[in-house]
Amino acid sequence: MGDGLLTLIILAGITVFLVLRLKNVLGAKTGLEKKPEPVFGARRTAEAEPRVEDREEPEPIAANDPLAETWAAFRAIEPDFSPRDFVEGAKRAYEMLLMAYENGEKAVLETYLSPDVYQDFAAAIDQRANEGLTVDARFVGVREAKITGARFDADEQIAEIDLRFVGELVTVVRDQEHRVVEGDPNEIRRETDHWTFGRKLGAPDPNWLLIATGE
């Protein structure tokens, strides 16, 4: 066997070894990658569906609730819908999305925002980066989360819910020289937001998208 052929065989062996090592380090897609976290509720499968006798009835709708007819329309499609549970999920989403915006986590925002709202958030993040600004943020808590309105499109089965949030967080904006240009690291800032979430009822994904924002 010539030296040239032997060299080629050795190089081929090294190449195969390196490819296998790289595959182990980087990993390969298996179809089991993590799906978006269900912020508003757990996904149910046939195996995970609770028994009828184990299900909790959603809280009754008060007769004087101005949104009683809307909630009834929601429950005609999703009997387990609960305004109270929705608010709890919305509070989790509020914290997650606020912090994703402050931290510039576009992938999180793109998952839970409608395309129009995402474009606005992403543009603000890009502008901040272009100006050389960085944000240090800490979420303190939600002081208030209240449903202020709701609508239902029976033809499209699209539900929309408006909420008023009052949140508390600490945010500090710094320039390229690490100087504070906005905020105070020792001050809790109170923020009021009016958000609208939307979702097609009956869809397997329990998450509601943030479809509109306001002050």
Pick the CATH number of 52-214 from 3.10.450.240, 3.30.70.3040, 1.10.10.10, 3.40.50.1820: 3.10.450.240
pLDDT at 23: 36
Task: Please list, in sequence order, all residues whose beta carbon lies within 8 angstroms of the beta carbon of residue 149, skipping any fewer than 6 positions away.
Answer: 67, 161, 162
Q: How far apart are CA 101 and CA 195, in angstroms?
A: 15
In this predicted structure, the answer to whether residue 212 has a pLDDT above a threshold of 70 is yes
Of 66, 59, 75, residue with least CA distance to 159: 75
Q: Give the tens place of pLDDT for each residue, 161-208.
A: 999 999 999 999 999 999 999 999 999 999 999 999 999 999 999 999
pLDDT at 56: 61
What is 10-25 written as a DSSP string?
Answer: HHHHHHHHHHHHHHHH
Q: Give the tens place of pLDDT for each residue, 45-99.
A: 334 444 444 556 667 887 789 999 999 999 999 999 999 999 999 999 999 999 9
CB 183 within 8 A of CB 134: no
Joined tokens for residue 150: 């709701």
Q: Give the tens place of pLDDT for each residue, 107-119.
A: 999 999 999 999 9
pLDDT band at 37 (very low <50, low <70, confident <90, very high): low
- Residue 9 or 105, more confident: 105
CB 173 within 8 A of CB 194: no
Output the furthest CA–CA distance in the chain (Å, rounded): 93
By percentage, how much of the chain surpasses pLDDT 90?
69
In this predicted structure, the answer to whether residue 145 has a pLDDT above a threshold of 90 is yes
- Residue 39 or 24, more confident: 39
pLDDT at 142: 97
Lowest-confidence region among 16-20, 94-98, 136-140:
16-20
- Residue 44 or 65, more confident: 65
pLDDT at 70: 97
Q: What is the mean pLDDT of residues 100-125?
A: 97
Q: How, if at all, do strands 134-153 and 158-174 pair?
A: antiparallel
In this predicted structure, the answer to whether residue 20 has a pLDDT above a threshold of 50 is no
In this predicted structure, the answer to whether residue 5 has a pLDDT above a threshold of 70 is no
